[in-house]
Structure 1
Amino acid sequence: MSPLWIGTSWKMTKTLAEGRAWAEGLRDHLASTHDGQAPARVQPFVIPPFTATTTVRGILGEDSPVLLGVQNAHWEDEGAWTGEVSVPQAKDAGAQVVEIGHSERREHFGETVETTQLKVAAALRHGLTPLLCIGESAEVKDAGGSSEFILAQAAGALDGLSPEELSRVVIAYEPIWAIGEKGRPAVVEELVEPFAALGAQYSGEVTGLLYGGSVNLDNAADLLGIEHVTGLFVGRTAWRLEGYLELLRIAAAHAAA
């Protein structure tokens, strides 16, 4: 069976010292409780800011079961793109996953369906896992168009991929109304229909269908119980190492049930 993906993006948080302490704590926990491996049928991943990429990779080690990601990457391999980081550069720094199309990138930095498609292709071209983020606004949700909207976002980014390429993609459904400091935690009933739509289209075709949006220790187990959900993409709760370790425990218990 496919593993449950449990990951976190630190966004624009953590100094090098803070990132080092978090990574050392995770490494030491896995060494002491799982002989350095991940819990059975659980795939951990962490996406620090670029400044901490090589630091976290060095601490976790090249053979770590924890996948390391970056929060963005440009679709071109090199060139006059001031302030950008390419997929080859991210890979050189130790990244294995590229987060693409987060709603904050779409809203504040002009990310479009077209650029997500280019970035997915770039990640795949260099052997990295694209983590494609999709999600609708409260207005779209209230109008009853959630499923159609997120399927269109996904289809636009994944258009033209071969079955083998598609099988290397992870999709994270993160409704805009549920994410961030002001987000409202979703109840299970609100997520059944979107995941039914995603499952009908992509279950068995992509490597994971994750949920993200105000995930916490109280709702994580229920979220993992939604049909077609194969992992969680977590914010603030996982920024504390203790929170992330508890999420790994919850996922391991769910996988063993």
Structure 2
Amino acid sequence: MRTPLIAGNWKMNGSLALVDSFARAFAERGIPATVEAALMLPAPYLYAARQAFAELPVALGGQTLYHQTSGAFTGEVSASMLGDCGARYVLVGHSERRELFGEDDAEVLARVKAALAAELTPVLCVGETLEERDAGRTEAVVLGQLAAVFDALAADERSRVVVAYEPVWAIGTGRTATPEQAQQVHAALRAHLATYDPTLAEGLRLLYGGSMKAANAAELLAQPDIDGGLVGGASLQVDDFLAICQSAG
């Protein structure tokens, strides 16, 4: 049985005050024992969150990392630095990183490998643009992004990755893939994973990451191949985020 994972991605938002308010809310209201919750925070807030969430069942994650372990790379953050600040997860290949910062499949693979080497769990993001969907290329694009990483990993490395399907056309737009559309892509992802190993396909968690919110979470999470959510805007509202966690329970 795959444990649902609800991961909130604050993107370049938030504050120390918001970290504290989330910690208070988690302490007061709790999270279902059958659900894993994680917050992917801007790097400057990770250490404060590590302290604030020290007694809470909430994992922390970074939003990106550089593939080198150290060196003259001003402004970058390494996997070990994220780990020192309490991160267990790290996003890799988010569509905003691919589009705005030019991260191609080779760079995404290097970052996944760096995360795994530092004992972090990479959350590999894959997804198609509206133009690619309209051209009927959704599965070709999404499975291509998955294969670019998984073909280059050893079997034990593949099992340590989480995959998040995030249709680019549904991120921050208010548009959401229907549960049926999301399930179709998740099923294709799981079928491709089975070509590596049926056990891998059965155990690996697949998250949906396109404008999941409290109002639609239950219907999306009810799909057989959706194992959680990568939540954007709704993860900045503690009531909404906790409601999504409850929907996954």
**TM-score, scaled relative to structure 2:** 0.93
Which secondary structure does the structure 2 equivalent of 1:96 belong to?
strand
Residue equivalent to 2:184: 193
8 Å Cα contact 1:177/1:183 also seen in 2: no
Choose 78-87 or 214-223, whichever is displaced more.
214-223
Residue equivalent to 2:207: 210
8 Å Cα contact 2:26/2:56 also seen in 1: no
Choose 94-103 or 214-223, whichever is displaced more.
214-223
Residue equivalent to 1:57: 50
Q: Which runs of 4+ in 1 moved over 3 A?
A: none
Which secondary structure does the structure 2 equivalent of 1:165 belong to?
helix
Residue equivalent to 2:111: 119
Q: Does 1:41 align with 2:34?
A: yes
Q: RMSD value over aligned CA atoms?
A: 1.4
Return the offset for 1:20: 1.9
8 Å Cα contact 2:5/2:36 also seen in 1: yes
8 Å Cα contact 1:16/1:51 also seen in 2: no
Residue equivalent to 1:4: 4
Unaligned runs of 5+ in 1: 31-37, 253-257
Offset from partner CA, 1:73-125 (integer Å, 9 cap, x none):
01100011111000011111111101001000111111110011001001111
Offset from partner CA, 1:48-74 (integer Å, 9 cap, x none):
11111001110111x642111000001
8 Å Cα contact 2:9/2:40 also seen in 1: yes
Among 78, 89, 93, which residue is 2:81 paired with? 89
Q: How many residues align?
A: 243
Change (3 A) 1:213 1:143: same
Unaligned runs of 5+ in 2: none
Residue equivalent to 1:140: 132
Aligned partner of 2:3: which letter? P
Residue equivalent to 1:73: 65
Among 137, 141, 164, which residue is 1:149 paired with? 141
Offset from partner CA, 1:125-183 (integer Å, 9 cap, x none):
11110000111000110111101110100111223212211111000000000011x24
Q: Does 1:100 align with 2:100?
A: no
Residue equivalent to 2:216: 219
Offset from partner CA, 1:10-31 (integer Å, 9 cap, x none):
011111122222223223322x
> Which residues in structure 2 correspond to 1:9-48 (within 5 Å)?
9-30=9-30, 38-48=31-41
8 Å Cα contact 2:183/2:226 also seen in 1: no
CA distance in 2, matches of 1:65, 1:105: 28
8 Å Cα contact 1:6/1:43 also seen in 2: yes
Return the offset for 1:207: 3.0
CA distance in 2, matches of 1:183, 1:217: 13
Aligned partner of 1:76: which letter? Q
8 Å Cα contact 1:2/1:41 also seen in 2: no
